[in-house]
Amino acid sequence: MALYVKAAEVLDKAEKKQGALKTLVYDSKFENIKPLFALVMETQKFSSVLEEIIESTKLLKQTKMRMNLAKVLVYDLLMGHGLKCGGAWKTMMMKHRTRLQSVLARMKVKQKVSKNEDLLPPSVRQMLGEKLPRYVRVNTLKTTVEDAVDYLKRDGFSYLGQASRMEDLTLKEKYFVMDMHLPELLVFPPKTDFHDHFLYKAGHIILQDKASCLPAYLLNPPPGTHIIDACAAPGNKTSHLAAIMKNKGKLFAYDLDAKRLSTMATLLLRSGVTCQQLGNQDFLKVDPESPQFKDVEYILLDPSCSGSGMVCLGDDASSADQKKVQARLAALASFQLRCLNHGLKFPRLKRLVYSTCSIHSQENEEVVTACLQQNPGFRLVPLLSQWPERGLEPLTQCLRASPAKTGTHGFFVALLEKHNEAGRKKQAAAVQKSDPPVTISEAANEAEKQEPALQKSHPVTISEAGNEKQEPVVQISEQEATPLSPSTCGKRPAASDEESEDKQTPAADQADGTPSKKKRRKRKRKKKKKTTTTTTTTMEMETVG
Ligand SMILES: C[S@@+](CC[C@H](N)C(=O)[O-])C[C@H]1O[C@@H](n2cnc3c(N)ncnc32)[C@H](O)[C@@H]1O
């Protein structure tokens, strides 16, 4: 029952505008956040429907419950996976179940619909991203685009060829097109459900939002290269990278969260990925100087972020508790900048792609600006000139994405590349002459002054899209994770994300501040033991994956 009481409490607080749902759930200190989050989000989504059912059955009067408690219980009883409580509460709810069920059934008959979702008001449906197309990435490790298209045609879908404008992505019934920017991406009407489809179950297609396909596509690591996916789980971008590399080379994929990593191992197995080496590890503690990374030339960094771009999660910006929201954003931005700076330390790195599913400049342009100030040997690569939404001024080389302009969830991508030594020295000198490096908060102030300047949309034709991958210096270009899964992207950094500065710095033992010989030896042994543990985890994950 604790779950329902806590969920009702969160909904009460949200009604009193004490914070955004997401923040309230995380602040609730409830031991099992995931089911609480899911219950609160779903109840909120069906709020108006549940209220109608509760009122027409006079449930509050008969049970003396308050509205939000009734809502969470009725949600789970009628639309969720059944009540997860026992005792008097369950007995009471079961007593009313038939009446509640028949009101729900009557509502559906009246509105001539069959699914619970269809009862939602249009405004809620739009907010939930129902209007976003269903994007399907063809997994070229298992099939080809042509074969996937043929299979889908035989399965009753009608193929309209490659799209050339945004409007072509607005589809109905069983029509589908090939995307105009990403040729391995097929586009279907919103809500087309592939979860039970053979191609999905066999790993031939991957359900991935278009914006989320950008990082791997733009990084475009050639087959045979060594690459790191720094914050990888649940692995949609990892499997995309492996497909681009044709499973040739080495793909180190790290994630701090063991559970998500194990989901990822299953997903990669199904997708036919074989070039990976998984590690349940904090990326910030991966040593760039380690011999195993000496050939790493590419990094994909998609760190934890606010998830404010995910249409289903919404944005905390309207939250009454702006202080908390800003503090959370600042903590995330600081973590993201540390990851970015760390990624640039790999000695042979050529390119790093940075992405977030956030719409906040603090996590996007400001992080990149601060990073470039601190790493003058790197610069931004201009991306997809035809892409309709750019990074905020002056970072227009980067891409942004949004439901309105690109028909996707909100997203941000920047591609950084190392430039030559002469340029680096020149830039370093210029930085010394000018202001000290921009810190995140300074960048925040600057960015606030800027008006977002967005470029106009230029429709792309097939051949242009093919050429669109940027001229390279070297060479160019979900839950079980569905794009709408809150756990994929809106995930808060694990505790160590925000405190991931190495906490194991040894305390000084001797007068000069250095540890004693004995202690040094002990620490050395401990360190050796730790390395072995990490390797074991990596090996285990490889076996699973
Ligand atoms: C936005 S999600 C990554 C989504 C993934 N790239 C994909 O496309 O499926 C961020 C991930 O970073 C992980 N993470 C957070 N802090 C980390 C750290 N310090 N080191 C490695 N992974 C971390 C989280 O567990 C989470 O799985």
Ordered structural domains, the chain, with CATH: 2-120 (no CATH), 128-207 (3.30.70.1170), 211-488 (3.40.50.150)
**Of 135, 226, 222, residue with least CA distance to 469:** 222
Q: What backbone torsions phi and psi does residue 351 show, to the nearest 5 degrees?
A: -140, 145
**Under a CB-based contact definition with an 8 Å cutoff, are residues 77 and 93 in contact?**
yes
Strand-pairing partners, residue 279, are 254
Mutate to test the pocket of ligand 1, among 244, 255, 305 (most ligand atoms within 8 A of CB): 255
Name the residue with the closest Cα to ligand 1, atom 11: 231
Could you report the per-residue pLDDT of 63-89, keeping only the tens digit for each? Answer: 889 999 999 999 999 998 888 777 788
407 lines ligand 1 (CB under 6 A): no
The response to whether residue 233 sits with its C-beta less than 6 Å from ligand 1 reads yes
Show pLDDT as tens, one digit a residue, over the chain (545 residues): 889 999 999 999 888 767 777 778 878 888 888 889 889 989 988 888 999 999 999 999 988 899 999 999 999 999 988 887 777 888 888 999 999 999 999 999 988 888 888 888 766 665 565 689 999 999 999 999 999 999 999 999 999 999 999 889 989 899 999 999 999 999 999 989 999 999 999 999 999 999 999 999 999 999 999 999 999 999 999 999 999 999 999 999 999 999 999 999 999 999 999 999 999 999 999 999 999 999 999 999 999 998 888 876 555 555 556 777 888 899 999 999 999 999 999 999 999 999 999 999 999 999 999 999 999 999 999 999 999 999 999 999 999 999 889 999 999 999 999 997 655 565 455 444 443 444 454 433 333 333 222 222 222 222 222 222 222 221 112 222 222 232 333 343 332 322 222 222 222 233 333 344 555 555 555 554 443 333 223 322 322 21
Q: 300 CB less than 6 Å from ligand 1?
A: no
Q: Point out the ligand 1 atom lying closest to the alpha carbon of residue 307.
A: 1
Ligand 1 near 42 CB (within 6 A): no
Is 509 buried (19+), middle (13-18) or exposed (0-12) by CB count in 10 A? middle
Q: Helix H segments across 388-435?
A: 403-406, 421-433
302 lines ligand 1 (CB under 6 A): yes
Tell the residue nearest (CA) to atom 25 of ligand 1.
257
Cβ–ligand 1 contact at 497 (below 6 Å): yes
| Residues involved in catalysis | 357
Token couple for 91: 């007995």
Whole-Å CA distances, 28 to 10, 19, 141: 8, 11, 43
For residue 498, give the nearest of 336, 326, 356, 367 by alpha carbon.
336
Ligand 1 centroid, distance to 493 Cα (angstroms): 8
Measuring CA to CA, which residue among 417, 383, 379, 418 is closest to residue 398? 383
Cα-to-centroid distance, 489 and ligand 1 (Å): 8
State which of 209, 210, 231 you would mutate to test the pocket of ligand 1, scoring each by most atoms of that ligand within 8 A of its C-beta.
Answer: 231
- Whether the CB of 460 sits within 6 Å of ligand 1: no
Spatial separation of the C-alpha atoms in residues 255 and 231, rounded to whole Å: 5
Torsion of CA 266, 486, 283, 226, to 10 degrees: 50
What pLDDT digit, counting tens, does each position of 123-176 carry?
666 556 568 999 999 999 999 999 999 999 999 999 999 999 988 998 989 999
Distance CA 121, CA 106 (A): 17
Query: 390 - beta bridge partners?
Result: 399
Q: What is the 492 CA–ligand 1 centroid distance (Å)?
A: 9
Exposure of 39 in the CB half-sphere (CA atoms within 13 A): 33
Nearest residue by C-alpha to atom 15 in ligand 1: 493
Q: What angle do CA 259, 260, 263 make, to 5 degrees?
A: 90
* Amino acid in the structure at residue 144: T
Q: In angstroms, rounded to a whole number, what is the distance separating the alpha carbons of residues 523 and 513?
A: 16
Best residue among 304, 310, 479, 498 to mutate for probing ligand 1, ranked by most atoms within 8 Å of CB:
304
pLDDT at 317: 53
- Give me ligand 1 centre to Cα 311, in Å: 19
Kindly report whether the global pTM for this prediction surpasses the value 0.90: no
Centroid of ligand 1 to alpha carbon of 232 (angstroms): 5
Q: Answer whether 304 contacts ligand 1 (Cβ < 6 A).
A: yes
Q: Which residues lie closer than 8 Å to 174 by C-beta, 6 or more apart?
A: 156, 157, 158, 189
Q: Rounded distance, CA 335 to CA 32, Å?
A: 24
